[in-house]
Amino acid sequence: MSIIAQHGEIFIILACLFGFFMAWGVGANDVANAMGTSVGSKAITIKQAILIAVVFEFLGAWLAGGEVTSTIRGGIVDPALLEADPQFLVYGMLSALLAAAIWLLIASAKGWPVSTTHSIVGAIVGFGAVGLGMEAVAWGKVGTIASSWLISPLLAGTIAFVLFRSVQHLIFESHEPFAAAKRYVPGYVFLVGFIVAMVTLTKGLKHVGLDLSFGQSFLLSLLIGVAIMGVGIVMQRRIKYERRADDHFGFSNVERVFGVLMIFTACAMAFAHGSNDVANAVGPLAAVISVVRSDGVIDSAALVPWWVLVLGGGGIVVGLVTYGHKVIATVGTGITELTPSRGFAATLAAATTVVLASGTGLPISTTHTLVGAVLGVGLARGMAALNLGVIGTIVMSWLITLPAGAGLSILFFFTFKGIFG
């Protein structure tokens, strides 16, 4: 107990620094998942993508980031086993943050879109298993999280496949694709607004003091969906049919209508990503603050202070602005050739999967989800549309991430143990 009383301030300062560094890594590497499809399909420019992400990543982290944070903070290592030595939890969470942040820095420099969730979960498992003993790790919870890494790309891929097939059937295969696009796209805009609003309202806003019932959330989400659909219709009306010699079917005009839709899905994906992935940076940080402030009492259900979510959201934004463009280029053009209609299907499918996971408190990998969704769209067009070489590299970098996070974390755990005793 005396170690925490003696060095408490240092622990909190280190946790804030490492937490910000980790959030920077999330912004630099993972925000590409939110923006890659929009930039790759040329629906928005890099500058517009950064502007959208700055606003919506921050809002997602602040408004809806609390639910997953509790899983990262207290769900992986059993806090009850650390009651006699609470300083070990502090060392472990500091090591996990630093280890995951360093790995993300390396991956971002290489242009690999790796999973920040893998990085932090691997790091926490590493310090728990070696520093505290195998029984300290809640292997059942780790198993659930690991299964979500397989389920999330499959679910996102399936949703994307179905969405893109519906677009092909309703719009591209109709007699007048442009007229069909104008008729059906508002429905897709409504879907984007409704899904994101629904999950945010049902799960995310408790710590802002808004605790709505399921029925109230449903009605409010319907209203938000309709309002966003109205904005979409107004924007869509400005698009006039342009006749081009090389475009016999009018498909380029259809893609321009979907370009409007991509702005909405980019906002949705950025919000969804912020709500799910801020936990990777602020979960361990919140654990350290909780232990230090309570003089060593470990409470896995302690509330996340509002300023911690703001610090995480701020770090994500700084990472994106300074380094995010590298990985955006990889994700946006590497896996398959994207147009606004394909990008829309992939992004909406990924956003739906991420917000559902965020609502159930399951820390899934946005990277896996988006790659799964893009693969789903590619498969809807046929196997030849996929760049298998790039997919292979991405999967390789995923496999390295967990052991890299765990190894670095074990190293830092024993370093902190040596420094503070």
Contact 121, 363 (CB under 8 A): yes
Q: In this structure, what are the phi and psi dihedrals at residue 301, rounded to the nearest 5 degrees?
A: -100, 10
Average pLDDT over residues 81-96: 81
Question: Given this model, what pLDDT does residue 332 score?
Answer: 67
Contact 26, 318 (CB under 8 A): no
Nearest-angstrom CA–CA distance, 244 and 252: 9
Find tokens 């993508």 and name the residue: 49
Kindly report the average pLDDT of the chain as a whole number: 80
How much of the chain exceeds pLDDT 70, in percent?
Answer: 86
Q: Please tell me the total count of domains within the chain.
A: 1
- Give kind and range of the element (H or E) at residue 66: helix 66-74
Nearest-angstrom CA–CA distance, 353 and 366: 9
Average pLDDT over residues 93-120: 86
pLDDT in tens, 208-224: 566 777 788 889 989 99
Question: Given this model, what pLDDT does residue 199 score?
Answer: 64
Nearest-angstrom CA–CA distance, 411 and 189: 48
pLDDT in tens, 349-376: 887 887 777 667 676 777 788 888 888 8
Is the pLDDT at 73 greater than 60, yes or no?
Answer: no
The region of weakest confidence among 12-16, 45-49, 80-84 is: 80-84
Is the pLDDT at 35 greater than 80, yes or no?
Answer: no
| SS3 call for 203 | helix
Question: Given this model, what pLDDT does residue 246 score?
Answer: 63
**Of 128 and 76, more confident:** 128
Among candidates 77, 93, 69, 66, which has minimal Cα distance to 140? 77
Among candidates 27, 25, 116, 14, which has minimal Cα distance to 72? 116
Average pLDDT over residues 234-255: 73
Question: Given this model, what pLDDT does residue 223 score?
Answer: 94
The region of weakest confidence among 34-48, 162-176, 183-197 is: 34-48
Q: What is the pTM of this model?
A: 0.79
Question: Given this model, what pLDDT does residue 208 score?
Answer: 58
Average pLDDT over residues 69-80: 64
pLDDT in tens, 195-204: 777 766 765 5
Question: Given this model, what pLDDT does residue 28 score?
Answer: 87
Q: In this structure, what are the phi and psi dihedrals at residue 197, rounded to the nearest 5 degrees?
A: -65, -40
Average pLDDT over residues 300-325: 77
What is the residue range of 354's domain?
2-420
Is the pLDDT at 205 greater than 70, yes or no?
Answer: no
Q: At what angle do helices 340-360 and 251-293 cross, to 10 degrees?
A: 20
Question: Given this model, what pLDDT does residue 312 score?
Answer: 83
Structure tokens of 198? 């629904």
C-alpha 277 chain-centroid distance: 5
How much of the chain exceeds pLDDT 90, in percent?
Answer: 11
Confidence of residue 206 (pLDDT cuts 50, 70, 90): low
Is the pLDDT at 169 greater than 80, yes or no?
Answer: yes
How big is the CA angle at 312 (ends 308 and 317), to the nearest 5 degrees? 145
Where on the phi/psi map is residue 137: left (φ > 0), alpha (ψ -120 to 50), or beta?
beta
Nearest-angstrom CA–CA distance, 88 and 136: 12
Nearest-angstrom CA–CA distance, 205 and 222: 17
Contact 21, 97 (CB under 8 A): yes
Average pLDDT over residues 12-23: 92
Q: CA 361, 365, 366, 368: dihedral to nearest 10 degrees?
A: -140
Among candidates 107, 95, 73, which has minimal Cα distance to 15? 95
Question: Given this model, what pLDDT does residue 66 score?
Answer: 61
pLDDT in tens, 279-296: 777 778 888 888 888 776
**Of 268 and 400, more confident:** 400
With 0-12 / 13-18 / 19 or more C-beta atoms within 10 angstroms meaning exposed / middle / buried, residue 329 is middle
pLDDT in tens, 125-134: 888 888 778 8
Contact 256, 54 (CB under 8 A): no
Question: Given this model, what pLDDT does residue 316 score?
Answer: 83
Average pLDDT over residues 139-167: 84
**Of 271 and 32, more confident:** 271
Is the pLDDT at 248 greater than 80, yes or no?
Answer: no
pLDDT in tens, 378-419: 888 767 777 777 778 777 887 888 888 889 999 999 998 888
Question: Given this model, what pLDDT does residue 407 score?
Answer: 92
